[in-house]
Amino acid sequence: MSDELKRGLEGVLVAESELSHVDGEVGKLVYRGYDIEDLARGASYEEVLYLLWHGSLPTREELDAFAANLAAERAVDDDVLETVRTLADAGERPMAALRTATSMLSAYDPDADTDDDDVTETARRQGRRITAKVPTVLAAFERARQGEAPLAPNPDLSYAGNFLYMLTGTEPDAVSEETFDMALTLHADHGLNASTFTAMVIGSTLADVYSGVTGGIGALSGSLHGGANQDVMEVLYEIDDSAKDPVAWVKDARENGRRIPGFGHRVYKVKDPRAKILQEKLRDLSESSGDTKWLDYTTAIEEYLTDEGLLDKGIAPNVDFYSGSVYDSLGIPVDMYTPIFAMSRAGGWIAHMVEYQADNRLIRPRARYTGPESAEIVPIDER
């Protein structure tokens, strides 16, 4: 067995997966062989969930049944909603509230104590309930913070459309619904990132799906994983408040040693393919609303940093550089961006848990011991 230390497990292969593949050198992302651009433009988020969970895109009949089953699970028990209200009143952070509520949801799952021999099917049923209820929890939390009662889910709306409705109280227009649906698809899976690996490690112990998703939320809440789109948006707000030209602001920021969020990625060496799509959707939203401010700012910043040679160094715009502006244009509060990331990525976490458990081996790496040798216990009164 090799004793070579790989900090952060960088470059270490720990599993085989048919779910998604990232080619950072050319800027390509695929789910089960389908290019992300084709899926974002040609399939709904419900279709993508079906693809990740079942291995193929659904027929019309399969999609109708799948979407109906998903919509039927959207309601959340009153006890959970009361806890969400309590957390909102206490000023809890949205990601922490989501983590708590997701764990609590397991208490009301009819499969929580099942002895079903078909572990995969049980995991899928639980995963469907989690995926259906997370938008309801998040929307209820935000409305509670605004002093408003939660809205009941609308089963006639799509997954994306229903969330925007529950969040804002208004059914979204076609451009907004399509844009948000595409954003969910773009974030659904992305190889063995930190939160997905966390969920997979938990799943390898044969813990239930609720444990895995709760763990994934915890991992995503860290500043080195989720939250970059929030950082981008806060920079854009700062630029706007300064009334300075965005390029001049960025020049000053770089001279002062500030890093511009939304540029660079652990995997991608060229522009993130998801960023390209969201840039287009930001343009659609801007044209629909008549407000092009964020589009103008982000485009100017990207063009300037490109001219400065960042792309030549492998530092390119990632998905977060445009997703924040898209969410702001949809009326979503900035501290809800990472929870929405979790809402989308839960589908991928569940898919990886199900896939790994089908040929399970407990994930149990080693650490090199660097502590003292041959320590002797000194009696407590002599220490």
Active site residue 21: no
CB 140 within 8 A of CB 84: yes
The per-residue pLDDT for 96 is: 97
Distance CA 107, CA 113 (A): 10
The per-residue pLDDT for 2 is: 62
- Please state, as a whole number, how many other Cβ atoms lie within 10 Å of the Cβ of residue 367: 6
Distance CA 132, CA 26 (A): 34
Phi first, then psi, for residue 316 (nearest 5°) are -125, 165
Tokens of 31: 């789910």
Tokens of 183: 């954003």
**Three-state SS at 61:** helix
Which CATH code, of 1.10.580.10, 1.10.340.70, 1.10.10.10, 3.10.105.10, is assigned to 34-191? 1.10.580.10
- Given 109, 189, 208, 320, the catalytic residue: 320
Residue with tokens 């629909």: 288
Cα-Cα-Cα-Cα dihedral sign, residues 197, 198, 204, 209:
negative
For Cα atoms 346, 348, 350, give the angle at the middle one, nearest 5 degrees: 70
Q: pLDDT digit of tens for each residue in the chain (383 aa)?
A: 567 888 888 888 899 999 999 998 899 999 999 999 999 999 999 999 999 999 999 999 999 999 999 999 999 999 999 999 999 999 999 999 999 999 999 999 988 766 555 778 888 999 999 999 999 999 999 999 999 999 999 999 999 999 999 999 999 999 999 999 999 999 999 999 999 999 999 999 999 999 999 999 999 999 888 888 899 999 999 999 998 999 999 999 999 999 889 888 878 888 999 999 999 999 999 999 999 999 999 999 999 999 998 888 888 888 999 999 999 999 999 999 999 999 999 999 999 999 999 999 999 998 999 999 999 999 999 99
For Cα atoms 140, 141, 146, give the angle at the middle one, nearest 5 degrees: 95
Q: How far apart are the first and last CA of the chain?
A: 40
**pTM metric for this prediction:** 0.93
Distance CA 308, CA 300 (A): 12
Phi first, then psi, for residue 21 (nearest 5°) are -140, 135
CA distances (Å), 255 to each of 236, 249, 307, 309, in order? 18, 10, 16, 16
CB 350 within 8 A of CB 130: yes
- Given 265, 272, 328, 352, the catalytic residue: 265
Active site residue 89: no
- Given 111, 225, 240, 335, the catalytic residue: 225
Tokens of 224: 């080195």
Tokens of 297: 């700012």
Active site residue 225: yes
Distance CA 162, CA 68 (A): 13
Residues 6+ apart with CB under 8 A from 102: 130, 134, 137, 210, 213, 214, 217
CB 46 within 8 A of CB 128: no
CB 19 within 8 A of CB 200: no
Closest by Cα among 99, 240, 302, 287 to 249 = 240
